[in-house]
Each structure stands twice: as structure tokens, then as C-alpha cells.
Amino acid sequence: MTAYLTWTELKLLAREPLVLVLSLMFPILLMVLLVTAFRDHAGAVFANLTGDVFYVTAYLGAAVAVMGFMGTPTHLAGYRESGVLRRFRAAGVRAPALVVSQTAVLAVLAVVGAAAMIVLAYAGFDLAAPESIGGVLAAFAAGILAFAGIGALLGSVMPSSRAAQGLGLLLFLGTFLLVGGGPPPGVLPDLVKDIAAWTPTGLLIDAIRSPWAGGGLDGPAMVTLALVAVAGFTFASRRLARS
Amino acid sequence: MDTVISVEDLGKTYGQVVAVDDVSFEVRRGEIFGILGSNGAGKTTTVEILQGLRARTAGRVEVLGFDPGRETDRLRRHIGSQLQSAALPDRLRVVEAIRLFGRLHDEPVDVNGTLEAWELERLRNRPFGVLSGGERQRLFVALALLGDPELVLLDELTTGLDPGARRVTWDLVRRVRDRGTTVVLVTHFMDEAEVLCDRVAVMSRGRIVACDTPRALTARQGGPVTITFGAAAGHDPQSLLALPEVQSVTVDDGQVTVAGHSSAAAGVAAALAEQGVRPDDYRTHYPSLEDVFLALTGHRLSEGDAS
């Protein structure tokens, strides 16, 4: 059942190519803009990275975060609003199956977005390869799981898709703009930086940057992302089984 | 006769609001059991408790031998359900919906057979979002019956349908019963309950106020049969009071109204024929479930029940 539901959700996603394009276009365009502007910059203000690595890694995280904060919650809340969740529940579709299928959708969208960014960055800006591809992939995967958990949890509590979209936008911009989506965090006050670094978005971007720059896996960030994933899946499944 | 659903002293409260209050009834195998009431009467809450979608706050419920509150997953394998205001993803096609829901059953589902049986073949690749109300209900009934459940719960199946589509849907429900499936039908349409149901529970303000066959309910609670016809010259309508089944005779503006027991319609017709009176506007009005509902609840079904 879980596999078939996942397959069905992916087919439904493929029938809405506009959703895919629109949700990924904004971060991709911003990444290109910022990499163009700051590729020759480097230093402490860019977390001791070059400007292009700083922004490419930030926006790889954004491709995941935007889906977890906005895509999945809006989709699930829409299902609740229109009665799809009730229909599934009455027929005996189990909540974990629903969460897994949403995770697969998020993973596909995030991978497509990240692949587009990487291709653009390599082809257009001659970006250097990460020091540890495996480490970056592991961080990206942990991020997908953590944000799938967050997305499912938000989707399980939000009453409507509009509410989910509003809150999602706030959470996404509120965290992402502070951890590298906008001004380099180096120019922000220390307190704001410290708080932002421990948001899921901050943790994910740190987890991607560390192996990319040769620092190995960022243990605390990876563990925290895994814990966020477990908590998100658990609470979302419980909540979806009752709502 | 074997009991499929047994409900005793069921109660459901939301904070201070009592949605279902001390409800008891039984549903027998193979019947169409109606739960009739206006909006807010507690019908949907009751059927949602029956299928484990809501937790009860009081009472005992057994559905096919399972407690819906504790054995929800096991129960769901034996029941089919069509919910009020439920939907499917707009872009999900009819055939995909049948395949998806078919996966929930242990035995493989005959997808083409299901499409044919419910005349969905033509709509096979149509997305849910573009189906008409009647087509959606047909799909929901088909989905509810996948895997041959012993019991189906149909909640407000014909709400929003035009009269033609409603009649077609009624035929669907009869077909379901003819397959041997027990049907619980929740409705706020009097005619639907009267036409389809073997037995009806009338709900008002969270309680069941009567439960019997439509015929027994109308005979017991529906009030007298009334007969009307135009007064004929030289005929004394009051002479009809001599008939034992006639309770009253009134004449108003040349129109005679006779009220009496159910056999009065035949008795009055025979008496008039004997007296040489043959009115061409002889009409009888038997009490309907609407009259029963009014007598039991003090309001008409269309007036709503939310308190």
C-alpha cells in the first residue's frame, strides 16, 4: 500500500508540472543572482568560504527547506480541507503510509531542484567540486528526512492550505534569510546568528557546508536533523491517525 | 435474525455540547437501515463512531463483533464507507482510485469488473476533479464496495444531486443490498428514507426518537388518513360519520375533508358509490414519514436541528 500510494502521489505531482517549476524557480533564480554577485568574494563574513560555495550550499538547503516548510504542509492541509484525509482514513490508509508518500514527493522535488542548481553552478560558474561528495549527499538526505518530518507535522496540524502556506512562508523566509539566503550571517548580530544556526534550516545548511569544505560531517547538526526527522514522523503519524 | 451492529446507550460530547445522547439501536444483516434527521441531529457523529473515525464518550458499540474504538483496523477490513463531504485528489483518475483503494484489501480487486459493474468504464481515465456529483457518488459507492464488505455505511449519499441522479443512486443502494450487503444509510431526505429503508431510526437533537419500519412508523405516529372531494348537491357528507373508521368530516368552501383510520379511504369510497355520489376529484392523503417526523420532533425536517 505504501509503495502504491507513493507511486500514485508521484504521478499526481508529475501532472502538475507548474507546481514543480514555480516552487523551484524562485530559489534557483536567487541562487544564480547571488552567486553572480558574490562569486569573487570570500572571508569570515562568508563563513570562511568563497561566495559561490557559500550561496550554492545555502540554496541546496533552501531546495529542501522550501518543500518542508511550504510544499508538504500545504499539500497535506489541502487534503484535510477537501476531505481526502477523511476518505483515506475511513478506507484504512495508515498514517505512516501517508507520511512516507509525502516524504518521497518532497525528496523528488528537492533532488530535482538541487540537481538544477548544481548543473547551473558547474556549467555557469565553474564551481569547485565538494571535498566530500558522500558527506554532502548524507547531509542532503538527512535534511530531506528532517524536513519531511517537519512538513508532515505542519500539514497534520494546519487547518487549511492557506494557513499552511502563510505559516510556511513565514518559517521559510524567517529562517532562510538569516542563515545565508539573504545577507551573509557574518554581518548579523551574534545572538541572531546563534539562534538561526539552530533552526532546522541553519542546521541543514551547516550540515551541507561542512563536508563540502572538507570539514567532515557536522556531527551535532546531523544528529539534530535525525532527531527532528524522528520527532516529526512520530507526531505527524499520530496526529494524522486521529484528525 | 443476525445482528450486524449493536449500539447501547451511546453518548458523545464535545466539551459542554452533547452531540449524541443515550442512543441505542440494532442493525440486522441484509437490511437497509436508515438514520434520518435534520442537520445537527447527530447522525454523522453516530456513523463516524460506528467506523472508528471518532471516539465515543459513553456506551457500548459492536460492529460485526468488533469494538470500533479499539479494533478499528480489523473492523475496517470488513466495512465499506462513503463519507459526507469527503473527496479524492483532483487529478487522481477513476481507475487509479479503484487500484489505490483496492490495494487496501488482502484479495486482489477486479478493477475492470468494478468499472463495468458501476458503469464507470467510460470515466476510466477521467480525473476526480472533473466528475459530476452523481459520477463522484458512483465512484464512492464503488470504492466502498471494493473487497465485498459485509457492511457499508453511506452518509448523505444524494446531497447535492439533481432528482434524476438521486433516483439512479437509489438504484445503486438497492443493488448493494441485493448483493447481500447490509447498508446503513444516513440521510436528511424523507423520501429517500421512505423509499429505500427497511427500517428507519429518527434522530433529533442527539437522540433516537423512534425506530421502526417506515410503514409501522407512519401507521403509528403519522396521524389519520385524510380524504378530500368536492361536495355534491343533495348529498349530506356528515352521513359518512356513520362509518366506524371515519373520525371527522368537515366541509369548507364546497370541499369535504374526511379524516379517519387507514381503512377509511376504501370505506368512504364504497359509501359514496352506494349513495350515488361519484366525485371526480376524490383524493386521499396517507401520512408520510414527514408527518411522523413533525409529530415526533415538533419541527419539519428542512428546518434544521442544530441547537
Q: How far are the Cα atoms of A113, A237, B24, B52, B248 from residue A148, in angstroms, in the given order? A: 15, 12, 44, 28, 74
Judge whether B197 and B204 are in contact, CB under 8 Å: no
pLDDT recorded at residue A96: 92
Strands B151-155 and B182-187: parallel
Instruction: Name every chain B residue with its beta carbon within 8 A of the beta carbon of A75.
Output: none
- Look at B100 and A8 and tell me if their CB atoms are within 8 Å: yes
Measure CB to CB from residue A84 to each of B89, B104, B143 and give the nearest one.
Answer: B89
The ipTM assigned to this model is 0.84
- Chain B residues within 8 angstroms (CB to CB) of chain A: 51, 53, 73, 76-77, 81, 83, 85-89, 91-92, 96, 99-101, 103-104, 143
Contact B85 A83 (CB under 8 A): yes
Q: Per mean pLDDT, which range of A126-135, B180-189, B215-224 is the poorest?
A: B215-224
In chain B, residues with a C-beta closer than 8 Å to the C-beta of A84 are 86-89
Contact state of B100 with A90 under an 8 Å Cβ cutoff: no
Instruction: Please tell me the distance from the alpha carbon of residue A99 to that of residue A6, in angstroms, as a whole number.
Output: 9
Closest CA of chain A from B82, distance in Å? 8
What is the average pLDDT value for chain B, to the nearest integer?
A: 89
Q: How many CB pairs under 8 A join A and B?
A: 51
C-beta neighbour count of A111 within 10 angstroms? 15
Task: Using an 8 Å CB-CB cutoff, list chain A residues near B96.
Answer: 8, 11
CB atoms A90 and B96 under 8 Å: no
- Tens-digit pLDDT string for chain A (243 aa): 889 999 999 999 888 888 777 778 888 888 999 889 888 888 877 888 888 899 999 999 999 999 999 999 999 999 999 999 989 988 888 899 999 999 999 999 999 999 999 999 999 888 888 999 999 999 999 999 999 999 999 999 999 999 999 999 999 999 998 888 877 777 888 888 888 889 999 999 999 999 999 889 999 999 999 999 999 999 999 998 876
Q: How far is residue B277 from each of residues A26, A67, A206, B56, B269, measured CA to CA in Å?
A: 87, 82, 100, 61, 9
Q: Among partner residues B73, B77, B86, which is closest to A87 by beta-carbon distance?
A: B86
Domain ranges of chain B: 3-78+149-219, 224-286
Which one-letter amino acid corresponds to residue A105? V
Number of H helices, E strands in chain B: 10, 13
Give pLDDT, residue A210. 94
Minimum Cα–Cα distance from B103: chain A residue? A1
Contacts of B87 in chain A (CB under 8 A): 82-84, 87
Q: Which of A5, A16, A90 lies at the smallest CB-CB distance from B81? A: A90
Residue A92 is nearest to which of B76, B86, B88, comparing CB atoms? B76
Write the burial class of residue B273 (CB in 10 Å: 0-12 exposed, 13-18 middle, 19+ buried). Answer: exposed
Q: Do A12 and B92 touch (CB under 8 A)?
A: yes
Residue of A nearest to B97 (CA): A8
Distance from CA of A16 to the nearest CA of B (A): 9
Q: Is the pLDDT of residue B140 over 50?
A: yes
Question: What string of DSSP letters covers B45-79?
Answer: HHHHHHTTSS--SEEEEEETTB-TTT-HHHHHTTE
Segment B186-202 mean pLDDT: 91
Contact list, B69 vs chain A (CB under 8 Å): none
Q: How confident is the model at residue B303 (pLDDT cuts 50, 70, 90)?
A: low
How confident is the model at residue B304, as a pLDDT?
58
How far off is chain B from A167, nearest CA to CA, in Å? Answer: 23
Q: What is the DSSP letter of B2?
A: -
| B178-205 average pLDDT score | 91
The CATH code of domain B224-286 reads 3.30.70
Name the minimum distance, in Å, from the CA of A54 to any CA of chain B: 39
Interior angle at CA A146, CA A3 and CA A101, nearest 5: 15
Measure the CA–CA gap between B49 and B53, rounded to whole angstroms. Answer: 6
Query: What's CA B84's distance to the chain center, in Å?
Result: 14
- All three cell numbers of B284, joined, read 386521499
pTM: 0.82
Nearest CA in chain A to B144: A91
Alpha-carbon span A242 to A156, nearest angstrom: 10
CB B139 within 8 A of CB B105: no
Query: What is the tens place of the pLDDT at every residue in A224-241?
Result: 999 999 999 999 999 988
Contact A15 B91 (CB under 8 A): yes
Which pLDDT score, from 0 to 100, does residue B42 have? Answer: 92
Burial class (CB in 10 A: 0-12, 13-18, 19+), A26: exposed
At residue B306 the predicted structure's pLDDT band, cuts being 50, 70 and 90, is very low
pLDDT at B61 exceeding the cut of 60? yes
pLDDT of residue A2: 86
Domain range for A9 is 2-242
CB-neighbour burial class of residue A60 (10 A; exposed 0-12, middle 13-18, buried 19+)? buried
Span B3-78+149-219 CATH architecture: 3-Layer(aba) Sandwich (3.40)
One-letter amino acid of B84 = Q
A71 neighbors A106 (Cβ within 8 angstroms): yes
Interatomic CA distance for residues A235 and A151, integer angstroms = 11
**In this complex, do B99 and A87 lie within 8 Å of one another by their Cβ atoms?**
no
Measure in Å the smallest separation between the Cα of A94 and chain B Cα atoms: 9
- Give the lowest-confidence range in B176-180, B185-189, B222-226: B222-226
- B83·A87 Cβ contact <8 A: yes
The Cα B140–Cα A209 span in angstroms is 50
Would you call B91 exposed, middle or buried from its count of C-beta atoms within 10 A (0-12, 13-18, 19+)? middle
> Which residue from B51, B87, B96 is facing A82, i.e. has the nearest CB?
B87
pLDDT of B307 > 50? The answer is no
Q: Which residue of B has its CA nearest to A5?
A: B100
| Measured distance CA(B268)–CA(A52) in Å, rounded | 99
Contact by Cβ (8 Å): B27, B1: no
Count how many domains chain A has. Answer: 1
Give how far A98 is from chain B: nearest CA, Å.
13
